[in-house]
Amino acid sequence: MGDFYCHNNEVEAQEEEEEDILGDAFDSPTSASRIPSPPMSPATTSFQRYQYDPRPSEFRERANTRGISEQLLALSKLEFRKFFLILNYIGRRKLEDVIMLHDVDDILHLIYHPMSHFESYIWNKYGHLCEDNKRVQYLDWDSGKTHLYHCHVHSDGSYTFKGPYLKAERTHLQQSLGDENVLVVKFEENAPGCPEEIVQNGILVGLRRYRFFVYKNEGKKKSSKDKEEKIDSVKCYFVRMESLNPCEEETYILHDKTVHEARCHFMHVHTVSSMAKYMARFSLILSTTVKLQVDLNSVNIVEIEDIYCHDENGCILYDEDKKPLVHTDGTGYISEDLARKCPQDFFKVKHKYANLEKYPNGVELGGNPFELGEVEFQNGEPPLLMQCRIFYNGLAVKGTLLVNRKLPQRTIQIRRDSMIKVKADPNLSRVPTFNSLEINTPSVKPRNSYLSRTLIALLTYGGVPMEYFFDILKNTLEETQRLYSDEVTALKVTVNHRDRDDASIATSMIMAGVPLTEPYLWCCLSSLAKEERNGLKAGRLPISDTFYLIGTADPTDTLNPREVCVILEHGQIFGEVLVYRNPGLHFGDIHRLRAVPVKNLGDIVGNAKYGIFFSTKGPRSAATEIANGDFDGDTYWVSQNPQLLKYYTASTPWSRIYSTPKTSHREPNNFSAEEREHELFRTFLKTRMPNYSMADASANWYALMDRLLILGKNNTTENEETRSVTEKLSELIDLYYDAIDAPKSGNKVSVPKRLKVDKFPHFLQKKESYHSTSVLGEIYDRVDKFKAEEPTAVEIKKLSVFEVEIPKTYWRLWKERYSSYRREMTEALNTGSESKNDLADQVIKKYKQLLYEAPDMEESVRSKLDIFNDALAIYRVTYDYAKAKGDVKKCGFAWKVAGSALCRLHAELHAKEHNQNVMAVSPSILHKLLNLRNKEVS
């Protein structure tokens, strides 16, 4: 491993033993925080262990010459997250002004205490020093979750620290360097234009120096009404590069590296063609992914050619930038054995499970995936497609991988031109890199599909009658009304919103037989009905026989132009389909294609499911014709809906008419290292300034499209105004697509005044508006009028079935705890917007832990009687308080904390009352049953 990794002496022997398992060090995540110090009892540990005094005097003398105080030198012995917490709680105050030398001994006494104990001590001692201090409380400090360390740079150039915050997701950057070596930095909107000291000196966190490394534009759309909001869509990351500690026993991953050398350990990003692409490509390391447990040094990664588009004479066709057009843009292959490494419950692993929690098959995850061996989590078929990031020996690869049973084991094939976003520098072939295969998302069973304003407008333009959409709207609005009285309808709505906590709670309550008039259940249903109606106003109409599927190219090369192959749950389908891709705005972005079975496709993909294959023949890829799409992970809207197919007439596919002037760019290698860092940081600060071109193009498109629909409704023949509106729409569409690609192209996109309207349709809710009579305006108005039929709120009263005697000790205990809960929840919700939801979840987890002495009832070892008594006490205390305050939402504490126990108790009492037995129902079976019933009704 050379000298790139240097470890603590106390774990050196252990890591030597593990070296054969780990393989190449750059394929495995490394974090000092994942190697915990041995637990030591405070009662038996010698105080000498904590003392800063025994350090050699020359270290202290060297520290003094560097201006390092004894407090800072001593506290640097703390685990980093504990030291960071101190910096958080003292705010802008200087460490030496807050912590006296005699305080250091007390703090160091806690060096091996649990994080929760340490946090409580530091909060009580220093939390009162700053008025805006928000407490950071977690129950699962040692769960293996990602620790996020935030720094806020103020307008005067000073900075403060926030966190650490915990999150389940982890990026390649964090996997490779370790959480504590990554600092998320936010700059105030009126921070200095390009502060030399930030680029030159970095940011000091105690004795650690962090330097500007990477940023990512999250791509949030900005409209004119967002101008007053805080800019937070561009995330900036600094990484630890140096230490000022004269007695540092521990060195670290990027020790003694320049920023350029550090970046080269991820990818050779300096080889890209422009500075505009430099950060767009390097920010691939910031994707939240699941790292597959694969040692890439044992994988055969093969570069293969793309399939190019040819004219009728067999010549390769090129786009306006003189780049060859391809049919296989962004899609390669992966052998079946490697595809099976993808976790079966991928999204739960990515967004919910921490590293130390268990997968469904009972495998326990540690900090280092290789400690498990290469576990095959996929019990059935592997995913058909996986959107991926591959970092390998300087290469950076982005795209999708199609499972290919014909490939030899441990093989990945990538397209040389369309998938390799950063090429390797042959001069750096001996430099080690953080190699990794990262999965963003696999192909999964599609959920219920919905229309959008854009789709409704394009479908209406294509001939679908407005009455079709009004019928869907009417049926859905009536359904939102029935959910207050019909259990099956209520269940269908709650299951459709199962990602929401209140919907999940409501589903459990309904399944347990809780009446729909129960106050909190009614509150949940009312909230879901409101969300449904808000979605309907925005055109989110449910539609049957329609799916979102990841797209790829036909691996058999047998599909003809205008043909596709679609694989759903029961295999390949046959017949006409409509295919569209968000955010398509062009009249021809909805294609009418023919789905045909491909006989020998099963030889390649087996029984893997859910995807759409496009032809690799013809002069142009159908994906390119649909909103300039490709196959690097784009999902396509595919509809077999008979009503849409009956009425819709496709328009000529999109092709570019107007082009944004190209901006000339210097290549990264034409800058010196210092110039490049200043240029990158200047670009970052510039990127933070909102660009409204995409939002402006979209809003003006809606206004002009609305006008076109109104003209079409009132006129049967094309007139001069129709032609003028159509021409403006075509130019706006090209500008919109250019604005999407602007971060990578570096071109400046703006909407000229001649394409802007004076007033917008009222459904866009802008100040300057007119009342639209188009299909979109009518949908908005019909939903608005339906509000008057909202049922009145139910009375807050307790269920009679829960009116049973319980010992008063339970009631007194939970009355006191509920008082503490309200105070803690208020603190959590008053914290910064980015972490308040996580902190609120932690408060709920805390009280669930107190009830079950486990994360949930299923894992509890407590007696059922004690749990039920506690749950009933929680229920009564909560409902008494909610009734006193006249706020039904305050009933939520009972169901969020004791929901499992209350639902089980109610189910048992309900079944006993009706001489029935309680039955367990699988969520997936329930979902299937509800979908079947929905189809029968429709």
Tell me, what's the pLDDT at 205? 95
pLDDT-derived band at 369 (thresholds 50, 70, 90) equals very low
More confident residue, 232 or 593: 593
- The reply to whether 669 and 716 lie within a common domain is no
Determine, yes or no, domain membership for 852: no
Q: Give the list of residues 6+ apart from residue 763 with CB closer than 8 angstroms, or none.
A: 453, 537, 772, 776, 777, 779, 780
Instruction: From 338, 350, 248, select the one nearest 290 (Cα to Cα).
Output: 350
> What angle do the packed helices 864-885 and 892-913 form, to 10 degrees?
120
Bond before 164 cis per omega within 30 degrees = yes
In whole angstroms, give the CA distance from residue 530 to residue 889.
Answer: 15
- The reply to whether 379 and 337 lie within a common domain is yes
Report how far Cα 292 is from the mean position of its chain's Cα atoms: 18
**DSSP conformation letters of 310-355:** B-TTSPBPB-TTSPBPBSSTTEEEEEHHHHTTS-TTHHHHHHT--T
pLDDT-derived band at 714 (thresholds 50, 70, 90) equals low
Determine, yes or no, domain membership for 359: yes
Long-range pairs of 477-480 with CB within 8 A, sequence gap ≥ 24: 477/533, 477/536, 477/782, 477/783, 477/786, 480/529, 480/532, 480/533
- The reply to whether 217 and 293 lie within a common domain is yes
**Average per-residue pLDDT for the chain:** 83
Note whether 460 and 554 are within 8 A (CB). no
Strand-pair category, 146-153 with 182-187: parallel
Determine, yes or no, domain membership for 313: yes
Q: How many CA atoms lie within 13 A of 434 on its CB side?
A: 25
Retrieve residue 262's tokens. 């550090």
Determine, yes or no, domain membership for 433: yes
Instruction: From 279, 276, 284, select the one nearest 667 (Cα to Cα).
Output: 276
Summarize pLDDT for 412-470 with one digit per residue, the tens: 999 999 999 999 999 999 999 999 999 999 999 998 899 999 999 999 999 999 999 99
Residue 152: is it exposed, middle or buried by C-beta count within 10 angstroms (0-12/13-18/19+)? Answer: middle
- The reply to whether 675 and 726 lie within a common domain is no
- The reply to whether 756 and 678 lie within a common domain is no
Note whether 759 and 769 are within 8 A (CB). yes
In whole angstroms, give the CA distance from residue 125 to residue 99.
Answer: 10
Residue in the structure block whose two tokens are 């079947």 = 932
DSSP H or E segment with residue 636:
strand 635-639
- The reply to whether 668 and 696 lie within a common domain is no
Retrieve residue 587's tokens. 């009249």
Summarize pLDDT for 724-766 with one digit per residue, the tens: 999 999 999 999 998 888 877 778 888 999 999 999 999 999 9
What pTM value is reported for the model? 0.85
Tell me, what's the pLDDT at 868? 94
Q: Residue type for 55, please?
A: R
Where does a domain end: 773, 788, 803? 788
- The pLDDT of residue 713 is above 80: no
In whole angstroms, give the CA distance from residue 95 to residue 115.
Answer: 20
- The pLDDT of residue 112 is above 70: yes
Residue in the structure block whose two tokens are 């080269």 = 264
In whole angstroms, give the CA distance from residue 864 to residue 875.
Answer: 16
- The reply to whether 681 and 784 lie within a common domain is no
More confident residue, 14 or 167: 167
In whole angstroms, give the CA distance from residue 213 to residue 11.
Answer: 29
Q: Which residues pair with 288 in a beta bridge?
A: 171
Retrieve residue 765's tokens. 């809710």
Q: Which residues pair with 210 in a beta bridge?
A: 203, 240
- The reply to whether 778 and 700 lie within a common domain is yes
Retrieve residue 887's tokens. 């706020």
- The reply to whether 10 and 24 lie within a common domain is yes
475 three-class SS: helix
In whole angstroms, give the CA distance from residue 136 to residue 118.
Answer: 12
Note whether 187 and 688 are within 8 A (CB). yes
- The pLDDT of residue 303 is above 80: yes
- The reply to whether 388 and 422 lie within a common domain is yes
Determine, yes or no, domain membership for 201: yes
Where does a domain end: 788, 823, 857? 788
Determine, yes or no, domain membership for 209: yes
Instruction: From 351, 339, 217, 379, select the one nearest 289 (Cα to Cα).
Output: 351
Tell me, what's the pLDDT at 935? 45
Determine, yes or no, domain membership for 763: yes
Q: What is the CA radius of gyration of the chain?
A: 30
For residue 179, the enclosing domain spans 1-36+142-442+664-689
Residue in the structure block whose two tokens are 């350090």 = 55
Split into its structural domains, the chain has a count of 2
pLDDT-derived band at 922 (thresholds 50, 70, 90) equals low
Note whether 241 and 254 are within 8 A (CB). yes
Tell me, what's the pLDDT at 926? 59
- The reply to whether 736 and 681 lie within a common domain is no
Determine, yes or no, domain membership for 82: no
In whole angstroms, give the CA distance from residue 241 to residue 211.
Answer: 7
Summarize pLDDT for 173-213 with one digit per residue, the tens: 999 999 999 999 988 776 555 466 787 889 999 999 999 99
In whole angstroms, give the CA distance from residue 176 to residue 25.
Answer: 10
Q: Mean pLDDT throughout 536-544?
A: 94
Tell me, what's the pLDDT at 917? 65
- The reply to whether 400 and 287 lie within a common domain is yes
Where does a domain end: 689, 722, 738? 689
Tell me, what's the pLDDT at 914? 66
- The pLDDT of residue 15 is above 60: no
